[in-house]
Chain A
Amino acid sequence: GQQVMQIPQYQHVQEGEDFTTYCNSSTTLSNIQWYKQRPGGHPVFLIQLVKSGEVKKQKRLTFQFGEAKKNSSLHITATQTTDVGTYFCALPNDYKLSFGAGTTVTVRA
């Protein structure tokens, strides 16, 4: 099935700073989904990107789909303690999802 590399694996951020996490695929993707899992919790769907070059915003979160539809990024502005957790990208694959390894975010107050 399709494979995706997600980097970085860990991100330690000072509160108020920005950061970006990336998902890269060797193949062209039809679409990509992003999920967030809080510590001790379950993954929660954030967004789906479908179009080449698509950019979607949710408050301080900006999601982007690459022009070639082989990569995607999540940029968080002015990180807050509520942003703590693991962010996964996921590739639809027939009737399944293939999840990246995730970026685990910790925040220093």
Chain B
Amino acid sequence: DGGITQSPKYLFRKEGQNVTLSCEQNLNHDAMYWYRQDPGQGLRLIYYSQIVNDFQKGDIAEGYSVSREKKESFPLTVTSAQKNPTAFYLCASKTQGTGSQPQHFGDGTRLSIL
């Protein structure tokens, strides 16, 4: 079945540590997105990529970094500069074009501070 796979499901970070969240899709989608969701709140865009080897900052990019070396993969690194990383992280993808195509989401990664 085609879909988006995020791993791990749960992740714990120590102080001063960088951690990387994985997102892989086999939907042949060009565009991929990372969102952060805090309890009881909506989705805030961290980074997005419309094509391989290109990505743009979203609304809350500080303390995060991404890469897009392959069409299928869009990993997110939460750096030690992100002082409040505890949240639910969602990866999404869609076909290329303007925003009107629906986005497909992975199951998410819950990140907590140790």
Contacts and interface: CB of A to CB of B under 8 A. Distances in A.
Interface of A: 1, 6, 30-31, 33, 41-45, 48, 50, 88, 91-102, 104
Contacts of A33: 100, 102
Contacts of A96: 33, 45, 48, 58, 99
A20 to B, nearest CB: 19
Interface string B70-114: 000000000000000000001010000111101111111000000
The SS class assigned to the A binding surface is strand
A96 B106 CA distance: 17
A95 B99 contact: yes
Contacts of A93: 99
Nearest to B33: A96
B38 to A, nearest CB: 11
Interface string B21-57: 0000000000101010000111111001010000000
